[in-house]
Copies of this chain bind each other. A is one copy, B any other.
């Protein structure tokens, strides 16, 4: 459900108010009954909140099935909840979801927006969803991938300063991202031999060492991946690579840094891209936005990103099972 003080509850309710999801999957919300009921009422919707103790229900239009994981003192105004209580509750939802995923009761989880700093300040050591999920599932190699309809990007480095990227690149790290991405596309997207294009770091891929030579490290990783039989090439000049991917030459682009990946992705798929963590023992997708406290409680938030995240998680489950048709 995400942080109760953010737009999480609102986008959950708006997304699950659409009947179409029930043809694709049986969504189970993990969150707070009072918060969700108040959100439904605030939006003037007729959705019923059905509390359950686990799976075993059949989803049906008009109903949201909820596994309660907090009972917050909501009062009249949701926005008056204590931030610490809200943050701790948002962490409890994640914990419970992961437990269901690790025991195989659910094939995957979709995470709503939480506030990292608020969780941390409430006394829970927490560096972010992805890091927590990797740690608790003892996953060493995981990759942040973002996927839109015409472009998928996988990141070698994520939230670090621009100036720290070059020194963070090493053959092993890049090779890991290539391998996990390739495996992820095979397992969850039914692409039998994923074609990966790897981006260079420097302009014109360094123009033969004239503008930097990190391309040697990247080339080393690409060669090793090729040696393992993977369909991967690069380093390619980044300014033309995304066009080539969109034209159908690559199934995903491996990017060296955050904005290299996010600039083209958000340009093409501004509010429909889904954040996916590959490498975990379960499926995990996420909304591509934050808690947006300033927008919360006003009924104005768009549930598009969450809808896409749910749809993709469901689709990935079918693809993994060998059903659902070819990508």
Contacts and interface: CB of A to CB of B under 8 A. Distances in A.
B264 A243 contact: no
B159 A166 contact: no
Contacts of A265: 239
A264 B257 CA distance: 15
A211 B264 contact: no
A65 B265 CA distance: 45
A263 B262 contact: no
Contact of A203 (B166, B204, B211, B262): B262
A147 B206 CA distance: 24
A263 B264 contact: yes
20 contacts: A159-B204, A159-B210, A160-B211, A161-B202, A162-B212, A162-B214, A163-B166, A163-B214, A238-B262, A239-B259, A239-B262, A239-B263, A239-B266, A240-B266, A240-B270, A243-B266, A243-B267, A246-B267, A259-B260, A264-B267
Interface in A218-258: 238-240, 242-243, 246, 257-258
A165 interface: yes
A318 interface: no
Nearest to A201: B162
A268 interface: yes
Q: How many copies does the complex hold?
A: 2
Contacts of A243: 266-267, 270
User: Which secondary structure dominates chain A's binding surface?
Assistant: helix
Contacts of A165: 162
Contacts of A246: 267
Contact of A263 (B166, B210, B211, B238): B238
Contacts of A212: 161-164
Nearest to A166: B163
A201 B243 CA distance: 23
A165 to B, nearest CB: 7
A248 B215 CA distance: 36
A263 B158 CA distance: 18
B161 A211 contact: yes
Contacts of A242: 263, 266-267
Given A163-B166, A238-B259, A263-B264, 7 more contacts: A161-B212, A162-B202, A162-B203, A239-B262, A242-B267, A264-B264, A264-B267
B239 A206 contact: no
A86 to B, nearest CB: 21
A239 B267 CA distance: 8
